[in-house]
Chain A
């Protein structure tokens, strides 16, 4: 019952720093590229024609930004509150359920309406939209109860 999977409270600040670094970093250096070890599962993207399953491949700043953004959003959404009690857990669970439904609805609409190669962006975006919706909903709920009924 005491067990939870949350990060310490201070991680929320680290999360915001990571998100800002990811966004600003990508906007400042969109063309930055470097090589890192990669797995090749098919030859469709084999623009260098080297062959082999495991080798160095070009990676760009978008990949790094996506990794930082993912970690940052997780830290923001899943750090403990100052007082992390069962009521906060309840609000967190409700917000997660809400965010799941809204994201699912957006996913369905996007799947029906978006046609062609543009659709490859949908799965990536859906994941970030889910985390962002959850964070927004949860913060609004916490804020609502922070305000309500001061005594």
Chain B
């Protein structure tokens, strides 16, 4: 799974720490998700979509091997 969190964060001018606080996780979790080492739960993905005002599909994209 690919994600566009970094870009979305840059557009909104949010740091990892800011985003983490907004959705109630640690900065490390945001880092792990952005780097593709951790796939977030649906709840977390929806919360991020809410923060960025975008549909989930614009933040997270399936890859061929998923």
Contact = CB atoms under 8 A, between A and B. Distances in A.
A61 to B, nearest CB: 41
A85 B34 CA distance: 16
A76 B64 CA distance: 41
Contact of B24 (A1, A85, A145, A146): A85
Contacts, number: 44
Interface string A139-151: 0001001101101
Q: Most chain-A Cβ atoms within 10 A of its Cβ — which of B28, B29, B35?
A: B28
Interface residues of B, number: 19
A87 B16 contact: no
Contact of B26 (A85, A90, A149, A151): A85
A145 B29 CA distance: 8
22 contacts: A81-B26, A82-B26, A83-B24, A83-B26, A86-B25, A86-B40, A86-B41, A86-B44, A87-B25, A87-B32, A87-B33, A87-B40, A88-B29, A142-B28, A145-B28, A145-B31, A148-B28, A148-B31, A148-B35, A149-B31, A149-B34, A151-B16
Interface of B: 15-17, 20, 24-26, 28-29, 31-35, 38, 40-41, 43-44
Interface of A: 1, 81-83, 85-88, 90, 142, 145-146, 148-149, 151
